[in-house]
Amino acid sequence: MTALTLSTAGAATLRADALVVGVAKSGKALAVAPGAEAVDKAFDGRLAAVLETLGASGAEGEATKLPAPAGLKAPVVLAVGLGSAPEDGEPYDTETLRRAAGTASRALFGSKKAAFALPAGTAEEAGAVAEGALLGAYSFDAYKERATGKDAKKPLAEVALLGAKPRDKAHKAAAERALAVAEEINRARDLINTPPNDLTPAAFAALAQTAGKEHGLKVQVLDEKALAKGGYGGILGVGAGSENPPRLVKVAYTHPKAEKSLALVGKGITYDSGGISLKPAGHNETMKCDMSGAAAVFAAVVAAARLGLEVNVTAWLALAENMPSGSATRPGDVLRMYSGKTVEVLNTDAEGRLVLADALTRASEEAPDAIVDVATLTGAMMLALGSRTFGIMANDDDFRTALHGIADEVGEQSWPMPLPADLRKGMDSPTADMANMGERMGGGLVAGLFLQEFVGEGITWAHLDIAGPAFHEGAPYGYTPKGGTGSSVRTLVRLAELTAAGEL
């Protein structure tokens, strides 16, 4: 994991492999961002002019390397684009800084130490730069032989943040928070990227138990025998076709001063073939990522523990592998859920809602102040919102609005979605209490309506469909890598922080 330090040294005197500075568009010219004054001075005030000569435009995502002049200890200067410069006196947007720092870390892959001279005058700016740099330094190399040798290139080993104030409580707290959150997002990314032959439900549960011991969390694992005894028909039905049996894992963080509690429920399909309703070729190669919701809620609870938040947070990981076999659930089968409701399974590839339903019912029994479930639930949500935005549905408009605002605050793209009551009728079944499918149009909303049926009466609930942003198949950008992203972890952690502060 990349180390983080707040340095009191100046940009000109700190020894590092590279100095990172920001450059922005200012009218028709380039402008050097605050934090890089000493670097610009070493270029005799001509850093922006030199970058323009090299073709730099200041656009977001741009990275330009150039040799450092005499007067700087670092041999290389890396200028990253910040987009348009803000109006006079206005700060840079924290998400802009986060992405720029991530771009820099990716560009410096293989370096031992980089000094970041990006705008970091406030604690919020310092935290954003630190978080982006740490997230951008991520690389999943556990299965690559060439990445394990002593001469192998590895991610940036150390981030030295310049311009922050190490002795200032707010700056120090921002850096500590950035480190904890980034490390837990990277934990989620590791889980998502792990091949499904290694990350079975039992293996995921074992990792949760190990983390629980490390961070003082109470972990309870229900295996297939306990699930059968408890009547968890949804989870058992989804896992029935696999040789790797399902698990329901409870990971609880409690604080002695907590006055409120949150339950976070995550879909954890460690591999989704679609079951008997088999996915076609071209749609199953990345289905190891179908446990991204469980990874997100697990990481968020560990982060809450590491930050010592004064709120009780419990994650429920609904873990199963959805496979076809002679023992698999068939289209037309009826499952009796943990709630007692019966569900006719019309499509075994609509399995996520079945495992979530049991977990939502179980989470409701503990009467939390709010429940948030997170799932790579529907392709329909990707069609509606694209690959970078998750949908938010809720049984409370104010809570949905609050979550949308929280996601925007921490730099995660989201959009509030409705739960139209008229779509509920499409899930009526002549055989059971309801079916697991409804109308094709508005399929993401239908899934939300299904889940709502299993939330305890009077409990505030929201559903995050992260099908789009959970797994990035394109080229890396900003602090976002190819593969698992850790989508929604930052939103969940911020929700816990605001709940602890009594602001929600």
3-state helix, strand, coil in the chain (%, to 5): 35, 20, 40
Q: Which residues pair with 113 in a beta bridge?
A: 158
Structure tokens at 366: 């503990």
Question: Which strands form 460-465's sheet, in the order they lie side by side?
Answer: 218-222, 247-253, 312-322, 261-272, 370-375, 460-465, 390-394, 414-416
**At residue 225, what is the residue type?**
K
279, 336, 341, 388: the catalytic one is 279
User: Could you tell me the end-to-end alpha-carbon distance of the chain, in angstroms, rounded to an integer?
Assistant: 33
Largest CA distance in the chain: 80
Q: Phi and psi of 38, rounded to 5°?
A: -65, -35
CB-based contact 372:264 (threshold 8 Å): yes
CA gap 295, 273 in Å, rounded: 19
Residue 279 annotated to the active site: yes
Structure tokens at 317: 């990981």
**At residue 161, what is the residue type?**
L
CA gap 285, 279 in Å, rounded: 10
Q: Which helix (H) or strand (E) holds 113?
A: strand 113-117
374-405 b/e (C-beta count within 10 Å ≥ 16 → b): bbbbbebbbebbeebbbbbbbbeeebbebbbe
Q: Which positions ≥6 away from 420 have C-beta within 8 Å?
A: 442, 445, 449
CA gap 21, 41 in Å, rounded: 13
Structure tokens at 373: 């479930």
CA gap 298, 493 in Å, rounded: 11
CB-based contact 231:336 (threshold 8 Å): yes
Number of neighbours of residue 431 by Cβ within 10 angstroms: 11
113, 187, 353, 494: the catalytic one is 353
CB-based contact 18:108 (threshold 8 Å): yes
CA gap 412, 493 in Å, rounded: 12
CA gap 193, 114 in Å, rounded: 27
CA gap 161, 156 in Å, rounded: 13
Question: CA angle at residue 308 from 117 to 190, to 5 degrees?
Answer: 65
Residues annotated catalytic, as ranges: 279, 353
